[in-house]
């Protein structure tokens, strides 16, 4: 298995539910960047890259999507469909998000600030990196 899904503790009562995420507690790193993906088009995938150094945690806070992770030897697809379910994506793991529901909002927490040079967008280059 490439990684595992993490179930976050849900706090709540008759007023509603709450999930609290904290750096180095539920999130296995210091959070430096937060972004979310929404309004995706049917049959369009997102991601399709790896990072040299960045680690991420992905949570579908609304709706659902699938995330396929590939470490260069094994590929595995995960379904994100609960707002208390997170998927850790380590560095040097190729990630593709796909099959988004119309109402999907995918939250991504990252351990690094955006840096274009950290992205590997060519799959063959990615395979070379994981061989070394």
| 109 Cβ neighbours under 8 A, 6+ residues apart | 21, 27, 31, 33, 34, 56, 57, 59
Three-class DSSP category at 69: strand
DSSP helix/strand/coil, 88: strand
Angle at alpha carbon of residue 88, lines to 54 and 117, rounded to 5°: 15
Count of C-beta atoms within a 10 Å radius of residue 100: 25
Q: Which residues are catalytic?
A: 49
């Amino acid at each position: 298995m490439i990684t595992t899904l993490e179930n976050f503790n849900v706090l709540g009562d008759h007023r509603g539910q709450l999930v609290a995420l904290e750096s180095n507690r539920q999130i296995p790193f210091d959070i430096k960047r937060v972004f979310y993906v929404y309004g995706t088009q049917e049959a369009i995938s997102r991601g399709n890259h790896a990072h040299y150094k960045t680690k991420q945690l992905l949570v579908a806070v609304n709706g659902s999507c699938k995330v396929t992770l590939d470490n260069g030897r094994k590929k595995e697809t995960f379904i994100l469909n609960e707002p208390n379910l997170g998927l850790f994506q380590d560095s040097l793991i190729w990630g593709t998000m796909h099959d988004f529901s119309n109402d999907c909002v995918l939250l991504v927490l990252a351990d690094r600030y955006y840096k274009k040079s950290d992205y590997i967008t060519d799959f063959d280059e990615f395979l070379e990196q994981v061989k070394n």
